[in-house]
Amino acid sequence: MKIHFIFIVIIYCLLLTSCLIERPADWWFLEPNSYKDTTSFHGETINSTVYNDEENNFSIILNCIESNVDTFHYELLYTLINTSKENIIFRLPQIELFTKDYWLIADLSYDVLIESNNSVQHRIKFIFLEKNKSFEKMLTENESNIIVTNLFVEIGTKEIGIPDFYFK
């Protein structure tokens, strides 16, 4: 009886692991259409949006992630590198994401402080706010599916607007 039970467990484990291996990924990186560069992500080289502000001594690396199962359908993985002598505040709650049909807002209510000569990496999840086609023309013109807009950083008393980023 024990041999039959062990045999059944082994077969079940083999079937389970083969299903897990063949299962499609639940999320993927969208291709950047602006400020495109390659970066390292857990040992792999991937395409990312890399924005360098040499005047203010900071850079932002953005990746847009899409999920087909998560209630948060889109996420931004960002890295902000502060090489200035001042602290930077990244205004996360203001970030907006637009598709051809929807307006999405960040699921955050706080800003992030990046100290001088430091960096921060984080994920921002987005929630659907309402149907909205206001960016449909811009997305079509830029051959993109996603626009990330309304990004701001504060350095000292100066607020700096960061350009829009496009992903497909």
Q: What is the pLDDT of residues 110-167, one digit of tens each?
A: 899 999 999 999 889 898 888 888 888 889 999 999 999 999 999 989 999 999 999 9
The band of 42, judged by pLDDT with boundaries at 50, 70 and 90, is confident
Q: Determine how many CB atoms are found less than 10 A away from the CB of residue 98.
A: 23
- Report if pTM > 0.85: no
Would you say residue 15 has pLDDT above 60?
no
The one-letter amino acid at 92: L
Which tokens in the block code for residue 48? 């990312």
What is the per-residue pLDDT across 54-83, written as a single tens digit (0 to 9) for each? 999 999 999 998 887 656 688 999 999 999
Task: Quote the CA–CA distance of 125 and 15 in Å, as a whole number.
Answer: 34
The one-letter amino acid at 31: E
Distances (CA, A) of 89 to 65, 86, 110, 149: 23, 10, 10, 17
Alpha-helical runs (H) found in the chain: 2-22, 136-141
**DSSP run (H or E) holding 67:** strand 58-67
Q: Which residues fall within 8 angstroms of residue 139, CB to CB, at 6 or more apart? A: 98, 99, 100, 145, 146, 147, 166
The CATH code belonging to domain 25-167 is 2.60.40.1150
> How many alpha carbons fall within 13 Å on the CB side of residue 91?
15
Least confident of 2-16, 36-50, 52-66, 81-95: 2-16
